[in-house]
Structure 1
Amino acid sequence: MCCGCLGGLFVILVLIVGWVLWLVAATGITSVPLLSRAAYEEPKPLRVVKAGEALKIPFDSEALHAFEGIEFKEGEEPSAEQLEQFEQFFDEEALKDLFVQLDDLGGSLSANRFNFVVTEEMLTGSLRQAGTNSTPDQQKDTWVDLTQAQVAISEKDGLEVFLPLARNAQHSAIRVYFTPRVTDKQELDMDLREIWVGNMRIPSWFTGPFNEGLFRKAVAGMVPELAKYARIEELTIEEGSIALRGTLTEAFRGL
């Protein structure tokens, strides 16, 4: 092979390695000499949110671990058998407690209807409580520090989940952006819009499988169970909160 060809291949290799190192530096996962100063800036949330009262979650604490082991094809809805697997982790009494809690926190709950406001402080408190309740082994294995996590709600950006990386000297964080909506079936759904790690936006070809993976499983498992007890007619995203209005089913009144 001629010297010019070898030189060209070497330049291409250097460019590829440099590009990869730049991406790594931009994430803030680790410090890359010479590059981190230019590629990385400590990420900030939309605003700092104080933790409020944690919400009662109607799912077993082992639910997410169970979701990981349930497989269904991309673009398909879970089967009846898989929905039964999801159902076993759903706590009906905890759902009733959640509705009563939201009523006490300024909402409205009658025999047939509900009108709730879920604030970013409530969601932040719930995230941080999950981190506080995790075992030392779980905290050791996790990439993120839930005890410092937060949720901000914006009319423009929807929900921003800010997850600081655990044991990270660069103070990097994962930022996940969702848009909640109500489907034609009056069920809650969540669209995953963007994921950022540090200063690097994760490309859509990578976030697509994530949306179809654990996140979609969690939504798919939660929505049918919630739909048995409540029908959401209206969802309004406001600055700092989400308003939910709808009707309660006979099943909820029987709890």
Structure 2
Amino acid sequence: METIILKKKPHPFVTCAVIVFVLLSVVAAGIVWVIAATGLVTIPVFTRLAYEVPTPLRVVTPGVPIETYIQSEVSDTLMKRLYQGQGALEDTALEVGLSEQSFTASLRSLADRAGAGLPFDFSLAQVALDPQKGAEIFLPIKNNPQQTALRLDVYATVEEGGIVLDIKAASLGVLSLPLQVLNPLIHTVVEKNLESLYAELGSYVRLRDISYEDGLMILKGELSVDAAE
């Protein structure tokens, strides 16, 4: 006589509960992985797997601040041109190379102007200039055991004589960030760093073009006739 074994089907509620538990576990693990990738906190196992200390394109030491360099370089050029033209500004073409050392010095000075409310260690902040990336702004997070940092790749162009900034990429730790969340930081960090550049250039130069070389931002424009008066 054949024995028939009846298998009890799992209750639908149990099946749904298992599926929900698995989905929640996956979502939770994903969230923890993302947090660990930023380096803002240490999470056992996840930090070791998801995070590595970010490094800049290269180490840049600060030099002469932008505002000081611009004032000296453009003023000297203007005086020489006026002397050569016997008081008339005949040659107005101008090309100025701004070094990453100057940008780094100006960025670090933000600690005195706008750094108090920001989570960055400006004593280690720097700017590296590159033909492909534009300006890589490297901002270490202060008091962070993981030595994490915010990195911004910013490309500057000229529109109607003014400088327009385009953030090409951003990351915190090893996590790529959506650029929309950076709008407040763009104004506070990037534009504040260029305020002195805007002020000095506006007094002397009408910009036409910006290009990049390794370690340099090349500004091309025309000396302002008003500056000679």
1:42 is matched with 53
The structure having more radius of gyration, on CA atoms, is: 2
Following TM superposition, by how much is the alpha carbon of 1:230 offset from its aligned partner in structure 2, in angstroms?
Answer: 2.5
Cα distance 1:217–1:236, how it changes in 2: closer, same or farther (>3 A)? closer
Cα distance 1:213–1:124, how it changes in 2: closer, same or farther (>3 A)? closer
Among residues 174, 181, 188, which one is paired with 2:150 in the alignment? 174
Q: Specify every segment of 5 or more residues in structure 1 that has no aligned partner in the other structure, as ranges.
A: 57-96
Following TM superposition, by how much is the alpha carbon of 1:128 offset from its aligned partner in structure 2, in angstroms?
Answer: 1.8
CA-based RMSD of the aligned residues comes to 3.1
SS at match of 1:166: coil
Cα distance 1:189–1:215, how it changes in 2: closer, same or farther (>3 A)? farther
Give the Cα separation in 1 of the matches to 2:57 and 2:195: 29
SS at match of 2:147: coil
Query: TM-score, normalised on structure 2?
Result: 0.77
Alignment deviations for residues 166-200 of structure 1 (CA, whole Å, 9 cap, x no partner)? 000000000000111122x2332221111110000
Which is worse superposed, 107-116 or 195-204? 107-116
Matched, 1:239 2:210: no
SS at match of 1:152: strand
Q: What one-letter code is carried by the residue in structure 1 that aligns with 2:40?
A: I
Which is worse superposed, 243-252 or 164-173? 243-252
Among residues 32, 41, 54, which one is paired with 2:43 in the alignment? 32
Among residues 152, 176, 187, which one is paired with 1:201 in the alignment? 176
SS at match of 1:171: coil
Cα distance 1:98–1:253, how it changes in 2: closer, same or farther (>3 A)? farther
Alignment deviations for residues 120-166 of structure 1 (CA, whole Å, 9 cap, x no partner)? 011111112332x359xx54x42101111000001121110000000
1:94 is matched with none
1:152 is matched with 128
Q: Specify every segment of 5 or more residues in structure 2 that has no aligned partner in the other structure, as ranges.
A: 1-11, 82-88
1:77 is matched with none
Alignment deviations for residues 221-245 of structure 1 (CA, whole Å, 9 cap, x no partner)? 8999755752112322111001112
Give the Cα separation in 2 of the matches to 1:130 and 1:213: 13
Following TM superposition, by how much is the alpha carbon of 1:17 offset from its aligned partner in structure 2, in angstroms?
Answer: 1.1
Which is worse superposed, 39-48 or 7-16? 7-16
Give the Cα separation in 2 of the matches to 1:17 and 1:217: 37
Q: What one-letter code is carried by the residue in structure 1 that aligns with 2:214?
A: E
Query: TM-score, normalised on structure 1?
Result: 0.70
Alignment deviations for residues 51-88 of structure 1 (CA, whole Å, 9 cap, x no partner)? 111222xxxxxxxxxxxxxxxxxxxxxxxxxxxxxxxx
Paired-residue identity, %: 26
Among residues 81, 92, 99, which one is paired with 2:70 in the alignment? 99
Give the Cα separation in 1 of the matches to 2:179 and 2:106: 28
The number of residues matched between the two structures is 206
Cα distance 1:120–1:217, how it changes in 2: closer, same or farther (>3 A)? closer
Give the Cα separation in 1 of the matches to 2:43 and 2:135: 31
Among residues 28, 51, 58, which one is paired with 2:62 in the alignment? 51
